[in-house]
Chain A
Amino acid sequence: MRTARLLVVGWVLQLKTMMRSAFNGALSVVWPLFFATTAFFMYRAGRDEHTLLYASLGASVMGIWSATSTSASSVLQRERRHGTLELLAGAPTNFAFVLLPISIAMSTVGLYSMVATLLWGRLVFGIDMHLVHPLLFVLAIPVTIASVGALGFLLSVAYARYRSAWALGNSLEYPVWLICGFLVPLALLPSWVGPISWLLAPTFGVRAIREAALGGAPLDDLLACASLGIAYFAVGILLAETVLRMARKTAALQLS
């Protein structure tokens, strides 16, 4: 019960903190829209209505990853800069349970972008969408957000020793958009990319959202997405413990 409360309160507080900056909030909506708009123009110029619809759904998920990749990677550096990292690490609760809601809150902010992209596609490009499985579509969104948040959590722990974690996280934005099939069918990519994309929850998240919207069997993809999210969290817990132990041992938590 205490853990559930910690996760929910941490998530809500983090969301409130992030929403204080209207400028940052606007960027998280607008940034993926630039890429979505470019992709829409490209697919529209290609004169294929189906691919435009396909791209619209993929583009809507791009914002969830954008909101997570840079900010979650640098979450420890941010706490370090605020002078709160030692307090979090010294708290009697498991460090991983403090970090997880922070990164899930970051991916939740991507929901703004998702809605904005779908509306943008509808209003500006006339992309009409009829949801074949509306309930599964609604279910697929939080599962994808939570799994992407768990991936962000894993990154935040993996980059704990790097002051420039934001740059490493930032550099993952385009690769994940590309190899998870957000805008391009995976079949077009070289075959060696396939196994890498299967290790990434966004691959299955975006596929589940597409299949729920356009028709298909999204449940398998949803399960795969959720399972990967749980796996990221499990690996992240182990990694967080190791990183924290090492940092305490060498007094290197502040990296200064």
Chain B
Amino acid sequence: MTYPARVFFLGGLLSYRALFNWLTPWILVPTFLVAPIFQILLFAYIGRSANLESDEFYVIGNALQYTSLPCLFAMANMLGDERWSQTLGILLSSPASRLALFLGRSLPVILNGALVGAFGFVAGSLILDVHVPASAFAPLALVIVVTAVSCTGLGLVNGAIGLRVRESAVSSNIVFGLLLVLCGVNVPLDELPSWMETIGRALPLTHGIEAARELADGARLADVGGLIATEAAIGLVWAVIGCTLLRFLEVEARRRATLESS
């Protein structure tokens, strides 16, 4: 295995295992399995109370939004936890390729995000008796994976913020909340003010959710190809911004000697 590939795969895997203390289910089950179900139920019942949309609308919107949770938190914590365990300086003084270092850490996160989204979708559909045609399962799985990739791109930006801000969990929560409001998760985009809709269309999730809803309503994969491609492209743009910001803030932190003090 080449050196950058080793940093990419093994470094990413080791970092991921350390990230959420995976060996204990006390964190995994409440955070990734219980919370999405209750968010789906909360908004599905608000939707029923407001007579707005069908349960399917909320199951898809909230399940996909939950793919962003591990993507945002893991990418921010990857730096915050290194600082906490006093290994951030060592990590960033190593000659390892930054691209391999940070993208390697994002690979398990993408898988995690996709699994959380898929679980939320299946569990929400079963609990609320939402029927989706079997032919839509595979395309929906693809949409969930693309959405997780896209959210991880945004997560890289959030991770970069972790180089400047100590409370990275707070910034992750805030970005998660913004996605909830702006991406058409629970409110149809045309019901939002136009400026919010414009911002939402530049964020990950929005096009993924739209594609998933169309697939659940019977559209074919080819019909939503444009939406999926847009979702992937938006994720790529955010990832490039994230990597650039990470590099810039790393250089800044070295120059100002603020790596540990921020």
- Contacts from A to B (Cβ < 8 Å): 21, 23-24, 26-27, 30-31, 33-35, 37-39, 41-46, 48, 51, 55, 162-164, 167-168, 170-171, 173-175, 177-178, 183-185, 188-189
Contact = CB atoms under 8 A, between A and B. Distances in A.
B212 interface: no
Given A23-B167, A34-B177, A42-B186, A164 B42 contact: no
Contacts of A174: 35, 38-39, 41-42
Ordered nearest first, which 4 A-B pairs have the shortest CB separation? A34-B177, A171-B30, A46-B50, A174-B38
B31 A167 contact: yes
B192 to A, nearest CB: 7
B102 interface: no
B41 A178 contact: yes
Contacts of A189: 45
Contacts of A44: 191
Contacts of B50: 42-43, 45-46, 48, 51
A168 B26 contact: yes
A189 to B, nearest CB: 7
Contacts of B27: 164, 167
Q: Could you say which of A41, A173, A185 has the most chain B C-beta atoms within 10 Å of its C-beta? A: A41
Interface of B: 21, 24, 26-27, 30-31, 34-35, 38-39, 41-43, 45-52, 165, 167, 170, 173-174, 177-178, 180-181, 185-188, 191-192
27 contacts: A21-B167, A23-B170, A27-B170, A27-B173, A31-B173, A34-B178, A34-B180, A38-B185, A38-B186, A41-B181, A41-B186, A41-B191, A41-B192, A42-B43, A43-B49, A51-B49, A163-B24, A171-B38, A174-B35, A174-B38, A174-B42, A178-B38, A178-B41, A183-B42, A184-B42, A184-B48, A184-B49
B187 A42 contact: yes
Contacts of B26: 162-164, 167-168
Contacts of B30: 167-168, 170-171
Q: Could you say which of A21, A173, A178, A185 has the most chain B C-beta atoms within 10 Å of its C-beta? A: A178
A171 B21 contact: no
B23 to A, nearest CB: 11
B18 to A, nearest CB: 15
B31 A171 contact: yes
Nearest to B188: A45
Given A163-B26, A183-B42, A45 B174 contact: no
B187 A30 contact: no
A42 B52 contact: yes
Given A51-B50, A184-B45, A188-B49, 9 more contacts: A23-B170, A30-B177, A35-B180, A38-B181, A41-B187, A164-B27, A175-B38, A184-B49, A188-B48
Contacts of B170: 23-24, 26-27
Q: Could you say which of A23, A24, A42 has the most chain B C-beta atoms within 10 Å of its C-beta? A: A42
B51 A46 contact: yes
B42 A177 contact: yes
B173 A178 contact: no
B241 to A, nearest CB: 23
B47 A178 contact: no
Contact of A37 (B48, B52, B173, B181): B181
Nearest to B36: A174
B180 A45 contact: no
Nearest to B171: A23
A228 to B, nearest CB: 22
Given A164-B24, A183-B46, A30 B174 contact: yes
A21 B26 CA distance: 27
Nearest to B45: A184
A37 B191 CA distance: 13
A123 B188 CA distance: 22
A37 B192 CA distance: 11
Nearest to A37: B181
